[in-house]
Amino acid sequence: MKAVIQRVSSASVVVDGQTVGSCEKGYLILLGVAMGDTEEDAELLCRKIAALRIFRDENEKMNLSIRDIDGEALVISQFTLLADYRHGNRPDFLASAKPDKANQLYEYFKELLSKVIRRVESGIFGADMKVSLVNDGPVTICMDSENLKKKK
- Mean predicted confidence (pLDDT) in 77-95: 94
Rounded to two decimals, what is the model's pTM?
A: 0.95
CA atoms within 13 A on the CB side of 13: 22
For residue 127, is pLDDT > 70? yes
Of the options 3.30.70.1450, 3.50.80.10, 1.10.357.10, 3.30.70.260, the CATH number for the domain spanning 2-143? 3.50.80.10
Phi-psi region of 36 (alpha: psi -120 to 50; beta: other; left: phi over 0): left
Q: Name the helix (H) or strand (E) containing 106.
A: helix 99-114
Give the tens place of pLDDT for each residue, 139-148: 999 999 999 9
CA atoms within 13 A on the CB side of 142: 3
Q: Give me the active site residues, please.
A: 78-80
Average pLDDT across the chain, whole number:
96
Cα distance between residue 135 and residue 71, in whole Å: 14
